[in-house]
Amino acid sequence: MLEVKSLSVSYGAVQALSNVSVHVAPGEFVSLIGSNGAGKTTLLNSIMNIIGNSKGSVTFDGKDVTKARTPKIVTKGMAIVPEGRRIFSNMTVRENLEMGGFTRPAGEVKTNLQKMFDLFPVLEERQTQTAGMLSGGEQQMLAIGRALMTSPKLLLMDEPSMGLAPLVIKEVYEKLKVLAAGGLTILLVEQNATMALKYAQRGYVLENGRIILQGKASELLGDNEVKRAYLGKEYKEKWER
């Protein structure tokens, strides 16, 4: 469904991504893990063409979208839950969701809205509240809901666990599990390697802008290198410094 081929991005002299190739098949749940500054957000943002100075190619659903503008990519069926959620904090919860459905016909927006309220009952309770007043977890739900309102085939998720309490993180991942079971394809990037790999089928490890490992999520979870770098066994202190 998504095929990223030898993508390179540099910010001035700094090479953020070099020759990154990632593919996601329909129906898959893929996690890409990496530490802070590894280039995870850069990867998602250049897939969506939010940053546009990349080399390489991005193919989605058999079509080349490397140079397509972000709104165009969204109409083709790819959606992103951006890093830090980035909800419209001055608008109400309902308006946020409606904005997600901006490119969709009115009827579809209506049915999608009901689906979102079924999936996240808390959003229905709070639909008239200003989104900036929601708690972090609720904002994450809203950001996911807003992305789903575009009726995507592929959902890109950027650090859903960022700044959330462990219990809330689990709740978010459980929702993703439900969505994946419903047939949604998910590509998730995450610093929280344990969670990300536990729920995914396949995984990649990104380090300093390069893919250094890939494989089944369960195998990666057991991999010594991954354990050392991301799961923080005995080396944790050394690596966090």
Cβ distance to other proteins smaller for residue 25 or 133:
133
Neighbours of 167 (CB within 10 A): 8
Which whole-number Å values give the CA distances from 211 to 22, 38, 108, 205, in the listed order? 9, 10, 38, 6
CA distance 156 to 192: 16
Q: How far is the CB of 194 from other proteins (least distance, A)?
A: 27
Helix (H, G, I), strand (E, B) or coil at 205: strand
Neighbours of 233 (CB within 10 A): 10
Cβ distance to other proteins smaller for residue 30 or 48:
48
Q: How far is the CB of 210 from other proteins (least distance, A)?
A: 26
Helix (H) or strand (E) holding 213: strand 210-216
Q: How far is the CB of 90 from other proteins (least distance, A)?
A: 5
Residue ranges that bind other proteins, judged by CB under 8 A: 48, 50, 69-71, 74-75, 79-80, 82, 86-91, 95, 98-100, 102-103, 130-133, 146-147, 149-150
Q: How far is the CB of 138 from other proteins (least distance, A)?
A: 11
- For residues 42 and 83, the answer to whether their CB atoms sit within 8 Å is no
CA distance 173 to 198: 10
Q: How far is the CB of 154 from other proteins (least distance, A)?
A: 13
